[in-house]
Structure formats: structure tokens, C-alpha cells
Structure 1
Amino acid sequence: MTTDHTPKLVGTAWGLLVLNTLGSAGAKTIVPLPRSLIQMVTMGALAVAFTLALAVNLRPRVRPSAYLFLLTLLLVPSVISSADPESGFGALFRCARLALFVATLWLLSRWWDGGTTFVRHHIRMYFAVLGSVAAGLAISPGAALPDLYGGRLVGALWPLTPPQIGQYAAVIIGLTVLLLLGRRTDRRSAAVVVVPSLVLLALTHTRTATVGLLVGLALAIGSLVLTSAAARRFFTWTVLCAAVAAVVLGSALQAWFLRGQSQENFTSLTGRAKVWDALLAAPRTTSEHLLGAGLGDKSFGGLPIDNSWLAVYHEQGMAGVVLVAAFVVVLGGVALLRPPSLSRACAIFLISYCAIASYTEAGLGDASPYLLHLAVAASLLAAPAPATPLPEPDVPRRRVPRWAQRSEAI
């Protein structure tokens, strides 16, 4: 890992990007917050993040990034489809937000050096978000575990849904475990993050986050097994504990996983499949097929799409699907080609988690936590910046006598 010379304002800007992607729709909070106020806070956070990034990178210097280049290209179908008057003013506003979001990432890419700096920023900010969730649970358990969501944990201070909380918990658990295996943090610090996050993840009953965490960690630790004794020990003990838990707690784990749903509801992915079928069956013009219907709220017929690929197809067309697939494949390919390291393992975890979550969650085509997760992966896979050579001291040249010059010539 390279020496950290990242300005503190970079971490602040990253935290504001996280705040911007928290969203404004969710559960009812203890103190009712008008949606307009929440949107003002989140959009203000993005504007301040861009300003801070520009302030610390006033003469813009950026790192080459295929991920950011493809993400910038995604703006083209987004703007073209959103410019249609039928898309409404909201679509153009979302395009402007995505453009500012991508511009901020470009400015921060100057400090992408293959180290774990942005991993730590990511963990700290999302741990603070989970802290607000835990505080809401302590203040008002009824509001934090409402019947409307089937008793699943929601944000009682800030409107966060169970899938959001599960996602944040799973991501920081996985990254913290990898930092511990790479000896970049101690056990006490790791326990402070992992233990409460596991409790919150369990209370959300979020299957996608749980599967993403387990599969992502398995792939990430598997990439370290040949070079890390700690990774081999952790992998072995995890497999043994999982086997014991499957035998002893099999019925309880199955009940937690099913969440009391019927077989039909479970196989239709809580009704998602019906929305997907309707979206694919809807008639589309050639323009809508290629470029989409413009950026929206990731819904179809008033119901959430809950699939990144279908949401991108609906809003940015096949052009958007190709670009999103391209940056996911490029990041995955680069990660596989890198030699084993902690940075590579963290990147593999984040990429695999986002790939798994994309099946039941939307977000890969617009400003979202998933794009931030992949941005962290891109920062981990960036080549270290070349060291700037120190200027040679100006030493006066020693005058050589004429007789010595003649002898050297001979």
C-alpha cells in the first residue's frame, strides 16, 4: 500500500457522496421529515462534495480510469432519452445529478493509488449511517421494527429501508474482515464494526445482502488463500462453523430466510418477477429500445423494478445495458489479472457483491451506493502513482586541470 497523502477534505467529499445516495424514500421516521427537506439535504451534499473535490484539485488532475470513462459515456443515452419532453423535467434533473456525481468521482480519482484509503472512508461513513439506525432502534423500537415492513429493521431517524441497511451492513462487514486478514486493522477495531453490523443485518432479514456478503467474502478470501495463512485459517474455520450451524440451526435459518412467505411469493421473488414480466412485455419504440425512456425513479407501473439490468434497459435502453455490463466486466477482468493482494481481494468482494445484488436491486445506472462501491473497487485496482524523482542538488563542477584533460584524452 502506498503512503497516504490524501487530504482530509477528500474523505469529507466522499462522505458527502455517501449522504447523497441515501435517498429520500423509506420508512416513517420518529420525527417526520418532509421529502423536500431530505432531497434538499442530499442534493446539497452532492453540490458541496463537488465543490470540495474541486477545491483540493483546483488544477484538475485525474487518474485514467476505464470505469469512469464508461460511466461518463452512460450520460449520453441518459441525456438523449431524458431530453424527450414526455420524460419530464425530473429526468433532466436526474441527468444533471448523475453528471455532477461522475464529475466529482473524476476529481477524486487523483488519489486512487491502489491503497485502502477509500476503503476506510467507505467503512467509516456507512458505519456512521448504521449508527443512526441503531440509535433509532434504541429510541423507538416500534418505529424501527414496524409492522408495515413485517417487523424488519428500518431507519427511524433517517428514512432507510431494510434492503438499504442490509446492503450497508454487509459491505462494511466484508471490507472490515478483509482488512483484518490483511493485518490493516486490529481485532478490537474490527469487532467494533463487525459485531453490531451483523446484528443489524440479521434484523433486516435481507436475503440479497446476506448472500452477497457470503459469496463475496468466499471469492475474496479465496483469492488470498494461496498467499495468506490468516486467510486459509479463516476460510477453514468459517466452513466448519457454517457446517455446524447448518446442522444445529437449520430450521431457524430456513425460517429467517423465508421470512414467513409462501412458496409462491418466494419463487416470484416477493412479486418482483411479475413487474419484470410486465416491463419486458410492454411495447417500445425503436428509440426507447435503444436509448430508454429517460432517467426515472426505477419503477414501472407504479411498482419498483428492483433489478439493475431491467431498470437500466427501461431508462437508458440497450445502449445503457451494454455500457453498464462493460464497466462491470472490465473491473472484474482487471481484478482477475492483478496479482494476489489485499487491494485485489477487497475489489473482488465489492464487484461480486454488486453483481449479485444487481439481480434484485436497482442502482447500477444512476447515482447510487452501488456506483460508489464500484468506484472504491476502481481505486483499489488503480496502478500506484509514479514517484516524483527528487531534483539533483546543484553541486558546482570541479574544474579539471589541463594536464588531466590531456591524460584522459589519451
Structure 2
Amino acid sequence: MGVDLRRGALPSGPDTAGARPDPGPLPAGPPKIVGIAWGLLILNTLGSAGAKTVIPLPRSLIQMVTMGALAAAFALALAVNLRPRIRASAYLLLLTLLLVPSVIASANLESGFGALFRCARLALFVGTLWLLSRWWDGSLTFVRSHIRMYFAVLGSVAAGLVISPGAALPELYGGRLVGALWPLTPPQIGQYAAVIIGLTVLLVVGRRTDRASAALVIVPSLVLLALTHTRTATLGLLIGLTLAIGSLILTSAAARRFFAWAVLCVTVAAVGFGSALQAWFLRGQTQEYFTSLTGRAKVWDALLAEPRTTVQRLFGTGLGDKSFGGLPIDNSWLAVYHEQGLTGVVLVSAVIVVLGGVALLRPPSVPRACAIFLISYCAIASYTEAGLGDASPYLLHLALAASLLAAPAAPAVATPLPAPAVPRRRVPRWAHGPEVS
């Protein structure tokens, strides 16, 4: 019995003779255009407000680039999935339902016509994710695209630091690292660095990449994270990695070794460099300013004390720029409550609970560990960062987690062909022998 090794061919032999592959299987892997569409979604969520750049970029130009990236991502996703085939996803269903309170509140135009524009952007963002869900099969393909694109963004930050250190470390931000070529704030840079560090570490622990390639990503990202002095990203990275690697300890010797070395390094750092770490963590702030979360608590108290109608409590005031009284809210839950009401808070809570519950039910694996890291990081960052209720990097991180938790696509099943009918030959009467009377 011979074996045909051509792609898509079936072994020959008596058990498969006359068989043909099922005509509707999913492709073996997503085409390159899918990774490009994912990168364009990341470009769309970079934002248009931030530090002053070396070459002044008009905000209208930046918005044109980011919105053009979203439109291009949707067009590419539709082109590669022309006869839309999607995979059922509770995450995407909840995001689609989140559009309902957003549109209801924005229709009052309390936040201006910009609210309706943001609703259209969120709808296009969710629609693109629906089209890309066809390739959500629990593999690490989107993880690699995520790391590559955010590493390219960090590369622009590093280039700005080399070209103009003064613009990259301005006094306006207390000497913290910002984007000098593209307007990125320290929390944004810290978030991107922490996410790709965590994902790359998990790929190394799971032996899905070599150490040399991982070091090229982790080391410069750690340097940039340290220069941003971003506490939320640092805590999210440490806690998220602890939970993710903890999910692999029982089944992976590499995870156990990494966890033991990590505990040893943290202990040595805490003993030997405790004062330096404390100074880095406080960023020169007073204890009172630190306990008020750098002034965020005053904005939160004012937002909660604001009188609201029943409709505003249920559906919010419409999608805005995540600010209250001209100051940033910097809390995803309060931002969702302000813009999408209690309905939005319930839906966003359901997103975290559903993804977390599915992750706990999956067997230990590297994709599951990556999903746990992303979910826990977003949950931690939601306390001091806004973004869970609108098109943002946090929704993309959670979309990546949803793709990692999706069940693998079923393999193509060979369908046997009916045996061809063999015509019966007419036998002459004399061939049966002499008749016996």
C-alpha cells in the first residue's frame, strides 16, 4: 500500500479507495492578509492624543491614519472572508450587545455628534473581529502577529529616544518615556511592553520559540518599560505571569524551573535593591499623592456624585473621550458607567467572567496560559486605565484571549463514494450444464 504525501491527498489503499475530502474544511492556517488586518486593528487603537512629537503631526492627520487603518482592516477581512464564515463566540456576542446601550445613549447627542462617530467606529471594529473569528482555532498564530506589531510600535519609541532624548523624556511627563515619533503616552508604552514581554516569556516556557529570539524582544521591552515608570503595567505583568505560569506548573517542568528562578530573582532584587525599587515605584511623589492614585480618586468621587436620570444610569451619556469635567477618568468601570451606564457595566463584567470561566475549564496548555495572562492583565489594568467599553488595545487583548480559548477546528473527514455499479453479464443457457429432468 503506497502513501501519497501531496498536500490534501489521502493515503491510498482498500480503506480509502473511492474517498474524497469534504469540500468545506477550513484552511490549514490563516493567510498572511489576516495578520495584516490584525496589525491594522492595532494601528487603529494607538490613539491620536499624546506627547509632542519631534515632527509636529496634526491630530486630524493622525485620526485619518488610524481610521483609515480600521477601514482597511475591515476591507481586508471581508475580502479574505467574502462569503462570511464566522465562529460562534460569546465574547463577540457580548461586544455586539454592548453596542445597544452605546447607540441608545449616543442618540441623545448629549456628547455631541462625536458619540455617534465613536459608535460607528466600535461597530466597524467588532464587525472586523467577527470576520476574523473564522481563524480563531486556539493556535498561537494571532499571538505572534500581536507580538510583532507591538514590537514594531516599541521600535518607533526606541528610535525616537535615540533621535531626540529630550523629546522622548520630557519634563512635562516627569522624565518618563513617551513617543517622540508617534504621540504615545507612558501608560500606553508600558502596556505594550508588558503585554509582549508576558506573551514572549510564555512562548519560551512552552518551548514555542528559541531563547535568542525571545531575548531580542524581552530585553529592549524591559528597558522601555522601566523608562516609562508605569506601575500598572509592571504589576499587571508580574501578577499576570504568576497566574499564567502557575497554570502550567503541574504539567510543565520548564514552568516549574522558571517559577523557581523568578522567585529567587525577585527575592534577591527586593533585598539588594529595595530602596531603588521603592524610589522607582513612587516616581518622586508624596505619600498623600500616591494614596490618591495621582489625583484619580478626586475625579472618581466627582463622577459618582454627579446627579443622573434613570436613563443615564441605565445607558450612560454616550461614547465620549473617557473624561469627566475635562479630566481623564482613568478607570474602565467608571468610564463604562459614565458612557454606557449600568447596562454596559454588566456586559463588560460578563466579558471578563465568561473568558475567565472558559480559561479555567480548558486543560493546561500554552495557549490557555497566554489567555490567562491577557485576561488577568486587562482586569488589573482596568482599575487605573480606561478602554474596556470602546475600541481599544484592551479589547484587542481580550479578543486574542478569546481566539486562544476557541476550540480547534474539526479536521476534514473523508466521505466515501458509493461503489460503482457493475453490470451483470448475461450467461448463455448452455453454460449452466445439462438439464436434469
TM range (shorter): over 0.9
Give the aligned partner of residue 258 of structure 2: 234
User: What displacement does 1:86 show?
Assistant: 2.3
Partner SS state of residue 110, structure 2: helix
- Cα deviations across residues 42-69 of structure 1 (Å, max 9, x unaligned)? 0000000000000000000000000000
Question: Alpha carbons of 1:355 and 1:42: their partners in 2 closer, same or farther (altered >3 Å)?
Answer: same
Alignment-derived partner of residue 408 in structure 1: none
Q: How far 1:87 moved relative to its partner?
A: 2.4
Pick from 205, 215, 222 the counterpart of residue 191 of structure 1.
215
Find the counterpart in structure 2 of residue 318 from structure 1.
342
Q: How does 1:129-278 map to 2 (within 5 A)?
A: 129-278=153-302
Answering whether residue 116 of structure 2 is matched by residue 83 of structure 1, we say: no
Structure 2 counterpart of 1:339: 363
TM-score for both structures, normalised by structure 2: 0.90
- Which residue pairs with 2:396 in the alignment? 372
Unaligned stretches of 5+ residues in structure 2: 1-25, 428-437
Which residue does the alignment assign to 2:61? 37
SS of the residue 1:59 aligns to: coil
Letter in 1 for 2:370: C
Letter in 2 for 1:337: L
Matched residue of 1:155: which SS? coil
C-alpha distance in structure 2 between counterparts of 1:108 and 1:164, whole Å: 25
In the alignment, structure 1 segments of 5+ residues that lack a partner are: 404-410
Contact 1:78/1:315 (<8 A) preserved: yes
The CA deviation string for residues 278-319 of structure 1, in whole angstroms up to 9 with x for no partner, is 000011011100000000000000000000000000000000
* Residue aligned with 2:389, SS: coil
Work out the CA distance in 2 between the residues paired with 1:273 and 1:281: 12
Counterpart position of 1:92: 116
Normalising by structure 1, we get a TM-score of: 0.96
Q: Quote the offset at 1:397 in angstroms.
A: 5.2
Name the aligned partner's letter for residue 180 of structure 1: V
Structure 1 stretches of 4+ with a deviation exceeding 2 A read 390-403
1:304 partnered with 2:295 = no
Root-mean-square deviation (Å)? 1.5
**Counterparts of 2:307 and 2:61, CA distance in 1:** 37
Aligned-pair CA distance for 1:393: 5.5
Between Structure 1 and Structure 2, the one with more helix by share is 1
Aligned counterparts of 1:292 and 1:107: Cα–Cα separation in 2:
29
CA distance in 2, matches of 1:39, 1:156: 17
Q: Whose radius of gyration is greater, 1 or 2?
A: 2
The answer to whether the 8 A contact 2:336-2:388 is kept is yes
2:92 matches 1:68: yes
Correspondence for 1:293 among 317, 322, 327 = 317
Distance across 1 between alignment mates of 2:424 and 2:170: 89
After TM superposition, give the deviation of residue 232 of structure 1 in Å: 0.1
Partner Cα separation in structure 2 for residue 397 and residue 221 of structure 1: 60
Match of 1:406? none
Report if aligned partners of 2:109, 2:318 keep a CA contact under 8 Å in 1: no
1:396 Cα deviation from its structure 2 partner: 3.4
